[in-house]
Amino acid sequence: MDSTRIAEIIEKHGAKPASLIQVLLEIQHENHWLPREALHEVSRRLDVPFSKVLQITSFYKTFRLVPPGRHCVEVCTGSSCHVRGATRLLEELQDLIRIGSGGTDPGSPFSLETGACLGCCNLAPDVIVDGKHQGRMTPALVREAVESCK
C-alpha cells in the first residue's frame, strides 16, 4: 500500500493519536493485512510511538501482521456452533489445511480463522469460505468445500 493512500486515510480520520485504531482498521480493510512499513508510516504521521502501534496491532485479534492466504476459511466457535459440533469441524479443517487456527502458512493457499459469535446461530455450525456462509456443516461437507477451492 503506498504512502499517499495511507495519508488519505489518516486525513479522513484526523492525524491524532486517538485515530490509531480507525486508521489501522481501514488500511487492513483495503490491503487485507498490515505491512510493517505501513505501521511505521502510521506511527510517524499520528505521532504514536512504534511500540504502541505494535502493542495495539498485536493485542486486538482482528489485525493481521502477515498476509492471509488466497482462500479464507472461518469457523464460528460461538456457543451454539460449539454445542452443534464446531470443534469437530475445526479438527477436520486443521487436518485438511494443516495449519493451526488463526494461522496462515506461506506454503498453503488457505488461512484458517475462528470467530465467536458470528450471529448466524440458525446455521450452526457455521463455516464461512471466502465470505460465503455454509451453514449446518458436517466434517464431510467441510472437506468438500475445501476441495472445491483447491
Contact set with another protein (CB under 8 A): 17-22, 24-25, 48, 55-56, 59-63, 77-80, 82-84, 115-124, 126, 132-133, 135
- C-alpha distances (whole Å) from 63 to each of 74, 89, 92, 122, 126 are 15, 24, 25, 28, 22
Q: How far apart are CA 93 and CA 44, in angstroms?
A: 40
* Cβ distance to another protein smaller for residue 1 or 25: 25
- Between residues 59 and 106, which has the closer beta carbon with respect to another protein? 59
Q: Nearest approach, Cβ of 79 to another protein (angstroms)?
A: 4
CB 132 to another protein: min, Å: 5
Least distance (Å) from another protein to the CB of residue 84? 8
Q: In whole angstroms, how close is the CB of 7 to another protein at the nearest point?
A: 18
Q: Which residue, 61, 57, 52, is CA-closest to 17? A: 52
Question: Least distance from C-beta 78 to another protein, angstroms?
Answer: 5
Beta carbon nearer to another protein, 121 or 149: 121
| E-state strands within the chain | 71-76, 103-104, 110-115, 127-129, 132-134
Return the number of the residue (39 or 48) whose C-beta is nearest another protein: 48
Q: How far is CA 104 from CA 12, 83, 97, 149, in A?
A: 31, 27, 10, 16
Q: From the CB of residue 24, how many other CB atoms can be counted at a distance below 10 Å?
A: 22
Which CB, 99 or 124, lies closer to another protein? 124
Query: 73: which strand partners?
Result: 112, 129
